[in-house]
A and B are shown apart, each in its own frame.
Chain A
């Protein structure tokens, strides 16, 4: 594979560097060398990618992905998760620690990193657990996790219910300057709930999860954040109340960032329809007014990143009574299309949409990439903004198919993904991993 690549005449959208226009992008030895308005001469031995009419973007970064390895390899592995990632245009993913051996120690962190290296497709940044075994009782060895390569700590999937423990977590984490990523759910308020509490839950006779289950915890943690001067990242924000509090906290200078998942800004609780477990996740799909508030927060900068909360599950986890259905949907391969729906609808500019997938998440977690200035990693996603296609879960590169978006019409699709100057996805095919090379 060529180590010099010239992306010709694509529309480069690089929000961090204020670029939005037709450019040539030259990359060499895994780095961006030059971004030029003028035609660049083709270096000898360079591979030329004709990007006319296409978008040439910094590789997408997903702060919230469940790769399921170790422990639930039937749902996903680091390899299949990376395949799904690059197929969706993601060149970096943050892997959640709630695997079936919890990533609460360096051995598990290293296992994930080794598997990612072997896959050789995209960057995988593990997140370590806040508490041992995600039990919410004792702190995991944060120093060890960070030095092993964890970029954030989180008990994702579960809240830290104990306020004192949460306060100490924020305090302790300040010495490493890692974000504390929180799944905000007061379990006493959400107990037994299967979907958002509202007219639809009343109609369907399903126990509701009130918005306050999230908002009350966001409020608590922002108070603790102010006191500890720590760094907080609120995962998968789902409702208006949370957005309002985070907006206000940002204005007052607190170090808080947050992410929103595409399903939360596209669907509302009515998508549960006829007890469709593919519309079941935590936090649940909320009211249309919440969807509206999330969209406004994506626009005004309250939200830092679009993150998928890619949560692979098997058929048997979903083909059950709604109350028994397991939470979560896969998201890596549908994220761009759903984000572009907001662009087509005039809610987001293309520039802002790209920022939420690239520089926004990079900045929130302090990760490399997310932009295309000279010297930046040659992580590039090429998008055809005009192609119309239909989501087909059977074609997913992920090992799982659990999505409520099967059959949804989309406009705009990833056609190529490059990581460190190597082509890892092209025309629907994931490049050979190093393992099989």
Chain B
């Protein structure tokens, strides 16, 4: 989010040296960005407080007791997760919800993932009427348990499709319920995840209908238009599991990561979810539901074509297509975010894996902006075109580029001795203090909903990372983003599917 705040100091020196036009452009860019952050902070505070107020008195038990609860399919792809698969599946099976199924997609693992599942849960292959609604690699076998205690579990064995998107599509094809939760088998979910995420779907105003055409004389059928906003997806905050205490797939104590790299990520995640997503939620402009955890309306997701296995940012790509689909059909929709952490994921701990992840994200962003360029600033797409895409194009996609070139220019100025040091320093201090403020506010907002960390030392320890971020973490992100863009432009082949997930798995196996 802050990806480009630093470009501003470069802007300052441009101001002194370059012509008025360029000066003004950069100044406006930087100023708008900073104001956008302040605005987001204010909006997210409002929306978090609204959420807390509204949900303080909600009796969540009622859905557990109710026969009217809508069904949810939990979809979790697994690739070479043999060491932890059993615990993680068990933890998914004990989610607090009355009507759900757990679909594990064995994405052509080369280890014993599948054997372990078959043995532990007494699974046998069944003749399953599988239908390919969404494109994916071939599904070879489907397993169900002979023990009725595991009735909720379905295991799908498929040919490796080199991406999570491909495996998730297979899961959607198998799923039976109207909603699906997309997660990763190595993510740890809060036990109330399904309840908390289905709630926004059920708060929707009931369908109000306007007729569009003539009645069919036989049956009275008529084209209708929905005037309510249909919730098509919900998401919640993700955090790092790295230093949490975990017992058989259950978080027993939340702690910020000890190592610096994941700790920076925890801070960044909180900022992105609490400040970013919750802020956008207020004005119905949520840009993305994270791939680690999201609940989707299956009907819309399928009509929008499901996940794109070729995409590098398949989560945002799907959300964009679902939104565009709704807009193309002139339906109103919304995407909701819940300010609670419901999912814990393993953050990369080595620079290599981290760098690969970030390059991929950046490449994904570039890809989405180019594939969906028709949406950018297109009033036909409402908020999606005019706010979400414009913002992301200007301040997410372009930011690293502006910043990178800015820094180069700055260095050039220093070398040639054309720099106005006092002004430059004031601007640097300004950008620095401002970014520290935004991050600290995000961490404060996060404390409103729930006190995840037990001791104040842990909390402050995390807050202090905001002071180091501009020097250490941020330059890395800019660098890896540029690398991602470079890969995008040169179209280099990707191999993330195997590598990234294998990377995650291996770290985790040592830990638990």
Pairing of A with B: no
